[in-house]
Amino acid sequence: MELIAESTDLRHYVKEIDVVNFSHPLIKEIITELFNDEQSEIEKAKIAFEFVRDKISHSWDIQSTIVTCKASEVLKYKEGICYAKSNLLAALLRSQSIPTGFCYQRLMIFDTPDKGYSLHTLNGVFLSSLNRWIRLDARGNKPGVKAEFSINEEILAFTIQEKFDEKDYPIIYTEPNPKTIATLKENTNALKMYKYHLPDNL
């Protein structure tokens, strides 16, 4: 699939916004731990991706009710669903002036269509040394889900099953989809939110 940038101005992919708040003290603290000037942009992208994938738990995987949204909240509680985790990965990379946007898939929430669908968020990252975008999914690995950092081929958490009306959206957005952020802000129980209140389309 050919990826399509919503904006041709890469500055739109490095700006700070409310939920990608990389100036927050907690974010700044982890930035100093993760990054240094000797690292290449590819090394920084891999480090940030693996940190969010492995050190921030997916709320459903740990059956936690806490709802996080802003990057700083995700870091504080060390958990969140994909909508929230993608905010943190964007914050870490944007803090290093690495353009990072938001990408979406429409997936079955569980294992059959009758149980419903949801939007799934991942990140698009522009690597200037390669002059192209790659997609990274920091959702978090578990049995049956194994996303990796790769610049040669996509190794995402989920493979689209078109026969079940799942979809891969090609656009890399400069900001998170408003429906996803509204969902995080309007709900107080992550498990109920995940089962019943996730948006199912862009």
The rounded distance, in Å, linking the Cα atoms of 193 and 1 is 30
What does the pLDDT look like over 90-101, one tens digit per residue?
A: 999 999 999 999
What is the pLDDT, as a whole number, of residue 61?
97
CB of 44 closer than 8 Å to CB of 35: yes
| pTM reported for the whole predicted model | 0.98
Predicted pLDDT of residue 111: 87
Whether the CA torsion 151, 131, 81, 39 is positive or negative: it is positive
Q: Which residues pair with 5 in a beta bridge?
A: 172
Alpha-carbon Rg for the chain, nearest whole angstrom, is 16
Q: Which residues contact 142 (CB under 8 A, 6 or more apart)?
A: 58, 61
Banded model confidence at residue 116, pLDDT cuts 50, 70, 90: very high
Give the pLDDT mean for 23-46.
Answer: 98
Q: Hey, which CATH number is domain 4-196, 3.10.620.30, 3.40.50.620, 3.30.2350.10, 3.30.1490.190?
A: 3.10.620.30
Report the length, in residues, of the chain. Answer: 202
